Amino acid sequence: MQRVAVVDYGGSNLRSVVKALEHVASAQFSVEVVSTPEALRNADRVVFPGQGAIGDCMRHLSDRNLLVALRECVRTRPFFGICLGLQSLMGSSDEDGGTEGLGVYPGQVHHFRTNAGPAADGTPRKIPHMGWNEVHWTRPHPVCAGVPSGSRFYFVHSYYVAPRDESIVLGRTEYIDTFASAIAEGGAFATQFHPEKSAAAGLQLLTNFLHWDGRA
C-alpha cells in the first residue's frame, strides 16, 4: 500500500484536501495527515496544501522541523503543492514585509497590482482573486491527462508566483495580469488553484497524481 502524506503544519484546514484524496484513492493508497519529518520521509507521495499568510506558514514549518524534510520530498518523490504549498516553494515572497520561502525554485511571490481597473466587460477586478477561472497548460503533463487546456478551477489568492525559470511553468491564468497558476519540474507538481474545490477537473488532477510515477 502506498502512503500519501498530507502535510499538517498547524495552520491549514486540511479536511477538504483529505476528503478529496480519499474520494479518488483506490484501496492501494493510504491517505494520512502527518506533521513530523519522519512521517514525511516515510511517505511514498506528499501533498502540501496551505492557506493564510506565508509568514505564519514558514514559522510553523520551522517550529515542527519540517523545512529540510519538505525540500527533500520535493526532489525525491511525487509531490503536489496547493495554493500556499506552491508559493512556499519560491525563494521569497513580498507578503508579510518580505518572507523567505523554501527556496526550492528561484523566484518571487508578488501581490496583484491594485491599480488595474475593471476588466474589458466592466467587471471589477477585486483582490483577492476569488472564484472560477481558466487554466491554460503550456505543455502536456501526466497529471493533466484528461483535463483540457482552458478548464476552469477554483482560486482564492492575493499573491502569485513568478519563477525565474519560465520552463517550469505548466499553467497560466489571466487575472489582472497573466500569471503562473501551475508549475511542474521533475517529480513536483504545484498549483495556485484548489483542485479539491474544483469539481471534476480538480478530482481528475488528484487521481492522476496518485497514479503518477513522478516522471514528466
Q: Tell me what pLDDT residue 51 has.
A: 86
- Each residue's pLDDT tens digit, 146-173: 999 999 999 999 999 999 999 999 999 9
How large is the average pLDDT for residues 185-207? 98
The Cα 187–Cα 175 span in angstroms is: 28
Could you tell me the domains of the chain? Answer: 2-210 (3.40.50.880)
Q: Cβ distance 154 to 203 under 8 Å?
A: no
Cell readout for 178 is 497573466
Q: Is the pLDDT of residue 97 over 80?
A: yes
In the chain, how long is the greatest CA-to-CA distance? 52
Q: What predicted TM-score, i.e. pTM, was given to this entire model?
A: 0.96
Q: Is the pLDDT of residue 117 over 90?
A: no
The reported pLDDT for the residue numbered 120 is 80
Q: Are 214 and 203 in contact (CB under 8 A)?
A: no
CA distance 9 to 50: 9
Separation CA 57–CA 175 (nearest Å):
25
Q: Strand 159-163 relative to strand 188-191: parallel, antiparallel, unpaired?
A: unpaired
Digit-coded pLDDT (tens) for 168-187: 999 999 999 999 999 999 99
At residue 108, the 3 state secondary structure works out as strand
Indicate which residues carry an active-site annotation.
83, 194, 196
Query: Length of the chain in residues, anyone?
Result: 216
- Cα–Cα nearest to 9, from 72, 53, 62: 62
Give, for 153, the enclosing helix (H) or strand (E): strand 151-157
- CB-CB contact of 208 with 142 (8 Å): yes
